[in-house]
Chains A and B, each alone.
Chain A
Amino acid sequence: MAKVKYIAGKEPHAKEHRMIFRNVDREGWDTSLATYQKEGGYKQLAKALKMEPKAVQEEVKAAGLRGRGGAGFPTGVKWGFVPPNNTKPVYLICNADESEPGTFKDRYIIHQDPHQLIEGLIISAYAVGAHLAYIYIREEFPEGAQILETAIEEARKQKFLGKNVCGTGFELEIYVHRGAGAYICGEETGLIESLEGKRPYPRIKPPYFPAAMGLYLCPTIVNNVESLCHVKHIIDMGADAYGKLGTPRNTGTRILCVSGDVKKPGYYEIQVGKVTMGELINDMCGGMKEGRKLKAVIPGGSSSKILRADEKFTLKQGDKDVEIGIEDIPMDFDSLMACGSMAGSGGVIVIDDSRAISWVLNNLNTFYAHESCGQCTPCREGSAWMKKITDRIVSGNASPEDVDTLESVAYNIDGKTICAFGEACSWPTEAMVAKFRDELIGDTDGKNAKRPVSKETQEAAKNLKSLTT
């Protein structure tokens, strides 16, 4: 394959391994099918269609692909949950709701390389036996939806979709469905309800595990945009070669979205676990902003638990326990989990010493209070309550006991709700209170006004008010 030339100023960092983002910011690249096919586009589809669907599944399983949407669940295993004696239609849904704060990767795939997604989607549909697939795209990506529609139309014209895909008799249609603007539509059962035309109220599990009872109560597989793209590369490289990318149990590449107080925020595709937090921040992102020090990192999207810059973590290396600092954490699923957080959606939010944790937490609490679907009691009432408390903390109207209340409210939500939003909204509070209790208590008695809060933060905080309904 030709060496890829990137748009000046947007070249990938040397430590990146561009696979999914190979064509992002690429000189001379566009979203047309012709361009995609010039580089072997849809060849992997042809290859997959020659395999048995089960064999494609096995390949994905063997490659060790873990979902890039948040939970990191093995994709091949998930596909295997469709009941063996199933007689109902099977649906495949591409989750393009990308709404976890701090996450901005799927949008680039959709905007710059839509056919990669469509090819991955068709192969995956073939593997799970779906003849109807949906791309559920968030409302805020109108252009992305248009690009996908166009790409699907092109693919259909070339018989990559339709009644007789590539002349094999396999039948598949893909529909793009636009959401109406709610974070909870990213939760797979909420998404399914929304797709059915209802409010996106997540379903209880059991009994509504999507792989058995999903869309229209038929077996349904929901995968993230990036996950589906990986499927194409697994077919291309074979499970063995793919499995050599990254680290054991944490295979392949993944896109990290870095935001916050670094010099060069942006997206970086790495081999999973081959880059540490320190390399990511200091090398790839050009380090912290001038004169600032690292205070904390939220490593896997806003819901993941915050890591303190001066924290010590214990990781297993071989059968030894080793103590490491934040900069030595390998950016992979298992290591971040072992450090008490998670790789989540790949959104790395870097926080420097100019930020007050109360503001950070209030920002997130405002988001979660606004986005709770409101279906179940603990999350509905708790998320709003936490926001009301941190509102008072940032405005200096709280008392130290409020910090305790805040923490116990979080624990009263965690583990007691219908969907994982309950954890998503309570973990930031749990972790920030546990790790920054003194600072938060210090903020309660009005000292906050004197705290070094950056200008940007103050500006942002003003804007936050408009979010407050």
Chain B
Amino acid sequence: MSDDKQQGVPMVNVQIDGEWHQFPKGTRMIEACRQVQVEVPHYCYHPKLSSPGNCRMCLVEMGMPPRLAPGEEPVKDKDGHQKIGWMPRPVIACANAVAENMGIRTDSELTKACREGVMEFLLVNHPLDCPICDQAGECSLQEYSAEHGKGDSRFRDEKNKKPKNVEIGPRIRLDDERCIMCSRCIRFCAETVDDPVLGFTDRGSHTVLAVHPNQQLANDYSMNTVDICPVGALTSNDFRFQMRTWFMKETSSICTSCGRGCNTTIGSREGTVFRQTPRDNNEVNSAWMCDHGRMNYHYLNSEARLTDPMIRKNGEEAHQVVPWSKAIRFAADELLKFNASEVAVIASGRMTNEELFMTRRLIAELSVEHVDIVLRRGKADDYLVAADKNPNTAGAKLVLGLKKPGGELAAIQKGIESGEIKALVVLQENLIDDTDFTTELLGKLDFLLTTYPLANPTADDSHVVLPGAAFAEKDGTMINVTGRLQRLNKAHQGPGQTMEVWEICRDLILAIDGGNGIYGVDDVFKEMAGQIKAFAGLTLSKVGDQGLPLLKTKLTVPMLEREKERIAKGEIVG
């Protein structure tokens, strides 16, 4: 939702809690209030979904100027406003739009009484088992009941019994007693991802949310329902009971499991990632992310993480753990043994621009000619998932100056085969599992260096194995498939001695020629901005939390296009 005054839309004068403001005509009352920092509590309203107006939490007192008799002139005060006639009946702020000379009272007796009443109603059948509820700490029911509730309960009767702990899909569990029937989850499934598997059955206070018989909530966006559920009714099998929400550190970053680069918040504690949740970005992922991307963090916490640099000298069987200084020295010395034409570098579309830029400097240092990345093509869907499974193919192309990413790999294979290429540097890739490189082929090399977050067969075959940081452990930027430059932020340092690839390259360059003036990731960005035109004038901090458009592409995001259409039709606020 942009707060910008839209062009061409007339402005209307609206009084909110006694103060006059101007808003574009058609602005929903709840959004108008929000724009002037007046929070209207709400459960069912979500700007990206239709507004059923069912929770009634957003009821406010509203008034309009008295209706004029034909020919009668409105009486205006000295500021040009008419007297407001306050209505005895409250209205919902979520679905009604502001109008000229409207008055809204969010702090009046009537409004307060409405909120108190609705809060009381929501709690009469609610289990109030917050101590064992996973939503505790980020539950709107808890928050609003503290703020708008009465404190004690007048309810002396038995609470309704409903199904608990129901598996409604492979990743989602439902506690119907906690459900406040806001229908957000139902609307999300039906409207946003065309998978209308959720619905209500029974009626009145016996209403239960249920998944259709013989169906499951199994779509690739199912976990978004957990995010938008205002209470603890829907929980994720992946996250539930893993960590109390208030203990987690939140880091703004992006998902790196495909080229969309959905904006995320990483929830972590003491070096362990517990979850990723989508962060709003109306240019990228709206408010959503796919389940695959969301769940693709477990490897970060894996036992198989590489934690230390290792080398294996020729003739030796096993790798030896060594300090970084020794590993870098060894690698530099080895690389210096070869002519430029005998060395190839395979970098990764999973690396940040900063990592790629330092790779570019290393390549220049060694005058390497054979450079490429590994392509990852898959299927796109009709929502967010991009066909490009690399998060930064565009960055690799731009920063490494690749004409046709992936086009050089065959030549590198041939070169190794023929013996022309004798040394290979593989950054953040596992060639054996992810490409058609084989152990035999790699065996022909005199020197192989790999960086990677996890133990893997390519690393096994390498002379130098370096623990490269994974996405949650990096600062830097990537360019998504639509050309948007976006930031990754480091939630925490990777395990053990893990380093980011830009640091590894920096140290290699240092070991090769003794100096490069790079200390931090800001320095890398600054230098990159100086050398690559597309980045000219930018700094890391300018990229900000929401990113910025860097490269022009004609590509659109299906999910966003759909939402734009729905905004135009007035179905959603957006």
Question: Which residues of A come within 8 Å of B, CB atoms?
Answer: 182, 184, 199, 201, 204, 206-207, 369-378, 380-385, 388-389, 391-392, 402, 405, 412, 415-418, 469
Q: State A373–B92 Cα separation when bound (angstroms).
A: 19
B114 on the interface (CB 8 Å rule)? yes
User: Which residues of chain B are near A184, meaning CB under 8 Å?
Assistant: 203
From A374, A382, A412, contact of B200 by CB (8 A): A374
> In the assembly, what is the distance between CA of A204 and CA of B96, in Å?
10
Chain B residue at minimum C-beta to C-beta distance from A183: B203
Chain B residues engaging chain A, CB cutoff 8 angstroms: 51-57, 59, 88-90, 92, 95-96, 113-114, 117-118, 120-122, 124-125, 154-158, 160, 180-181, 199-200, 202-207
Q: How far is the CB of B531 from chain A (nearest CB, A)?
A: 55
Q: Which of B95, B125, B154, B207 contacts A405 (CB 8 A)?
A: B154
Contact B56 A416 (CB under 8 A): yes
Task: Tell me the total A-B contact number using a CB cutoff of 8 A.
Answer: 102
A380: which B residues are within 8 A, CB to CB?
Answer: 121, 181, 204-205, 207
User: Are B117 and A378 in contact, CB atoms less than 8 angstroms apart?
Assistant: yes
Q: What would 10 more interface pairs be, CB under 8 Å, given A204-B92, A204-B95, A416-B56?
A: A369-B205, A374-B204, A374-B207, A375-B181, A380-B204, A389-B157, A412-B113, A412-B117, A415-B89, A416-B117
Closest chain A residue to B114, Cβ basis: A416
- Closest beta carbon of chain A to B107's beta carbon, Å: 18
Instruction: Specify which chain B residues have a CB less than 8 angstroms from the CB of A369 in the assembled complex.
Output: 204-205
Give 7 nearest A-B pairs by CB, closest first.
A412-B117, A374-B207, A384-B205, A381-B121, A388-B157, A204-B53, A372-B204
B207 partner residues in chain A, CB cutoff 8 A: 374, 380
- Across the interface, B157 reaches (CB within 8 A) one of A378, A383, A385, namely A385
**Can you name the residue of chain B whose Cβ is closest to the Cβ of A368?**
B204
Q: Could you say which of A201, A374, A391 contacts B52, with CB atoms under 8 Å apart?
A: A201
Instruction: Give Cα distance in the complex from A68 to B219, angstroms.
Output: 48
How far, in whole Å, are A383 and B56 apart by their CA atoms in the complex?
Answer: 15
A417: B residues at CB distance < 8 A? 56
A356 to chain B, nearest CB (A): 20
Specify the chain A residue showing the minimal Cβ separation from B125. A381
Q: Which residues of A contact B206 (CB under 8 A)?
A: 374, 384, 469
Cβ of A382 and Cβ of B52 under 8 Å apart? Answer: no
Interface of B, helix, strand, loop or mixed by DSSP:
loop
A416 touches B59 (CB 8 A): yes
Given known contacts A372-B204, A380-B204, A204 and B52 CB-to-CB distance under 8 angstroms? yes
Q: Is the CB of A377 within 8 A of B55?
A: yes
- Which chain A residues lie closer than 8 Å to B56 at the CB level? 376-378, 416-418
CB distance from A265 to the nearest CB of B (A): 29
Q: Are B204 and A378 in touch, CB under 8 angstroms?
A: no
Chain A residues positioned under 8 Å from B202 (CB to CB): 374
Q: Output the nearest chain A residue to B51 by Cβ-Cβ distance.
A: A204
* B96 to A, closest residue via Cβ: A206
Cα distance A381–B57 in the bound complex, in angstroms: 13
| Residues of chain B with a CB closer than 8 A to A381's CB | 121-122, 124-125, 205
When C-beta atoms are compared, the residue in chain A nearest to B91 turns out to be: A206
A contact residues around B51 at 8 Å (CB): 204
Write the chain A residue with the least CB distance to B204. Answer: A372
Of A373, A388, A416, which is within 8 A of B203 by CB? A373
- Chain A residue at minimal CB-CB distance from B118: A377
Are A412 and B181 in contact, with the CB atoms below 8 A? no
Closest to B89 in A: A415
A418 touches B53 (CB 8 A): yes
> Would you give the shortest CB distance from A154 to chain B, in whole angstroms?
37
Interface core residue of A199, A201, A206, A377 (most chain B CB under 10 Å): A377
Smallest Cβ-Cβ distance to B92: which chain A residue: A204
CA separation between A189 and B244, bound complex, in Å?
43
Point out the residues of chain B lying under 8 angstroms from A375, CB to CB: 52, 54, 181
Q: What distance in Å separates the Cβ of B395 from its nearest Cβ neighbour in chain A?
A: 45
Residues B57 and A377 in contact, CB atoms below 8 Å apart: yes
For B120, the chain A residues whose CB sits under 8 A away are 412
A199 to B183 alpha-carbon distance, docked (Å): 13
A376 and B55 form a contact (CB under 8 A)? yes
Could you pull out 28 A-B pairs where Cβ atoms are within 8 angstroms? Answer: A182-B203, A201-B52, A204-B95, A206-B96, A369-B205, A370-B204, A371-B203, A372-B203, A374-B205, A375-B52, A376-B54, A377-B55, A377-B122, A378-B118, A378-B121, A381-B121, A384-B160, A385-B124, A388-B158, A391-B157, A392-B156, A412-B113, A412-B120, A415-B88, A415-B90, A416-B117, A418-B54, A418-B56
